[in-house]
Structure formats: structure tokens, C-alpha cells
Amino acid sequence: MSTLLLAPRTQSPAQAQALAAGWLEVMRADGRVVLRQGSFRAAAVGDRLFQAGDALQTGAAASAILELDDGIGRINVAENTAFTISRLARLRSGARLTTLDLSQGQVRLNVRKFTHAQSRLEIRSPAGVAAVRGTEYGVSLSDDGRMVVATASGLVTASNRGRRVFLEANFGSRLRPGEFPSPPQRLDRQLLLQRSTVELSGQQLYIRGQIDPLNHVSVAGIEIPVDNTGQFDTSITLPDDPLIFDFDIVVSNALGELRIYPLLNWAGPAPQAERPRP
């Protein structure tokens, strides 16, 4: 029997200083999860993001869970999501400052109340900032730049252009670049497809409908832009193979909850939905 001795991992002074300011640790990585720390590599359980510029990205059908170094909270990262650490700092007073820049996708955070009054956790995008000191909430960023902040419990602030709104449990706000946050609005956690029309013409599938303006809609994995009233109108080119197409209409929210409306070999009245999925 042979014995393999592993030398302890050494840290540069810069790494040691950065780790002293805090880190995010990968607790789970399912599917294609990529970590960027200078170069790109597959993320693994135990990896740590510990300095500004470190980034994480998930692919289709992938997800990750990260934990703050002091165990005060967790971040659930949905598929097709990317964020970069903008700031990880520990003040002399003991306060912790964490800022993540979300460039696409959706994250859900569960954060216990900070013990220090100056501690702060922020999720930023070009559309605005979501800040919290202890709560459960979600942030999503659409391809068209629309940001939605939704609160499951506690209190969250959403701000842009110098204006701030306070979001209690089961309320949300939408933000767009250059615009003020929308007033707090109660969440539609039933994820209703309020009305829809689906028409098939040749190889073009035309889909029109309306959802709650705080929710998102995708068809065949493609996110569909919605306006400030929740209306959408799009078309999809079907593949050349005419045998069958298996598309779903998926309505989701910033908390990561989703509801699937199956669309199988179908054109006509709005399809019936499956139960919402947490």
C-alpha cells in the first residue's frame, strides 16, 4: 500500500489579504458552472470567489449554490446566469460590504439579519440596485435590461436614479436603465398566463399574450421581451423536421419560481398549466 502526502495549499499575500475581507464558497454546482479567476475553469464544490473581478456563470439547465464565508446567507444561482464580484470588504468597525454585479439571469438570496448596522449586501445591474441587511429575496435581469426585485420575506430596497422604494414580503418592483423603480406591486406567485393566442403558419409559430409585468416568459427556452404592462408578441421559426415540436411556455419570477404551460403539437386556445414549481 502506498501513501500519498499532499502539501498544504499556499496562499500569496494578496490572496490572504483578500480572503480576510471575505469570500463566497461554492456549496453545490450542477451542470455547466464556470468560474473566472483570471482564467476560466469549471467550478467545483469548495471553490471560493474572494476578490473583485472573480465571476461565476451557469449554462442552460445548470445551477449553483454559494455561501457567504461567515455562514450568514446563501445565494441560489439559476441557469443562464452570470455575476461578477464588485466588492468584498471588511471595515475596521467589523462591518461587511458585499456587492455583486448581475449581468444576466436570476439569483435568490436567503440572508439572516446582519449583526453590524453598517453591513450591506447589494445586487447591482445597469438598471438599478437591490440592497438588503437580512431577508429572502430574488433578483432577475432580462435580456432587454429589465431588472425585477422581489421579496419573499423581510424588507428589500430597490433604487435607481436617486429614487428608492421599499419592498415588503410578496412585493416587487421593476427597474430599467435610466428609469425610476416602479412603485411596489404585489407579486403574482401563481404565475398566470393571463391570456394568450398561439397560431401556426407554415414554419412560423406566433405567440401573443400577457403576464404580470413583474414576471418573465420564455418559449422553447427563449426569453420573450415583455412591456411595462406585461404584454408580449413574438414568433418562432420551427425546425425543418415537421414530425413534432415540443415547446413549453414558461412563466417565472425573480424568486426563481416557475410554471409550465405545455405546448405539444398544438395551435389554438391557450394551453392549460401545470402546477407552479418552487
Regarding predicted confidence, which is higher, 241 or 252?
A: 252
Q: Which residues, in sequence order, are CB contacts of 144 under 8 Å at separation 6+?
A: 225
Q: Which residues, in sequence order, are CB contacts of 49 under 8 Å at separation 6+?
A: 23, 24, 26, 35, 37, 55, 56, 66, 85
pLDDT of residue 204 exceeding 90, the answer is no
Would you mind telling me the total number of residues written for the chain in this entry? 278
Report pLDDT digits (tens) over 59-117.
999 999 999 887 788 999 999 999 999 999 888 888 888 999 999 999 999 998 877 77
Mean per-residue pLDDT for 166-190?
Answer: 97
pLDDT given for residue 125 in this prediction: 97
Domains of the chain, start order? 13-186 (2.60.120.1440), 193-264 (2.60.40.10)
pLDDT of residue 265 exceeding 60, the answer is no
Beta strands in 155-225 (DSSP E): 156-160, 163-167, 171-175, 185-186, 193-201, 204-211, 216-219, 222-224
pLDDT given for residue 134 in this prediction: 77
pLDDT of residue 37 exceeding 70, the answer is yes
pLDDT given for residue 256 in this prediction: 96
Rounded to 5°, the CA angle 152-157-163 comes to: 145
- How many percent of the chain have pLDDT more than 70? 85
pLDDT of residue 237 exceeding 90, the answer is no
Place 142 in a pLDDT band, splitting at 50, 70 and 90: very high
Query: Residue 24 CB: number of other CB atoms within 10 A?
Result: 23
pLDDT given for residue 244 in this prediction: 55
Regarding predicted confidence, which is higher, 207 or 271?
A: 207
Q: Highest-confidence range of 23-32, 68-77, 192-201, by mean pLDDT?
A: 23-32
Q: Which residue in the block uniquely carries the three cell numbers 430599467?
A: 176
Q: Output the nine-digit C-alpha cell for 28.
A: 453545490
CA distance 73 to 249: 32
pLDDT given for residue 200 in this prediction: 81
Mean per-residue pLDDT for 247-264?
Answer: 89
Give residue 189's region: left, alpha or beta (phi > 0; psi -120 to 50). alpha
pLDDT of residue 160 exceeding 80, the answer is yes
Q: Output the nine-digit C-alpha cell for 64.
A: 449553483
pLDDT of residue 49 exceeding 90, the answer is yes
pLDDT of residue 270 exceeding 50, the answer is no
114, 133 in Cβ contact below 8 A? yes
Question: Of 225, 276, 267, whose CA–CA distance to 247 is shortest?
Answer: 267
CA distance 203 to 213: 29
CA distance 54 to 25: 12
pLDDT given for residue 277 in this prediction: 55
pLDDT of residue 135 exceeding 60, the answer is yes
pLDDT given for residue 276 in this prediction: 54
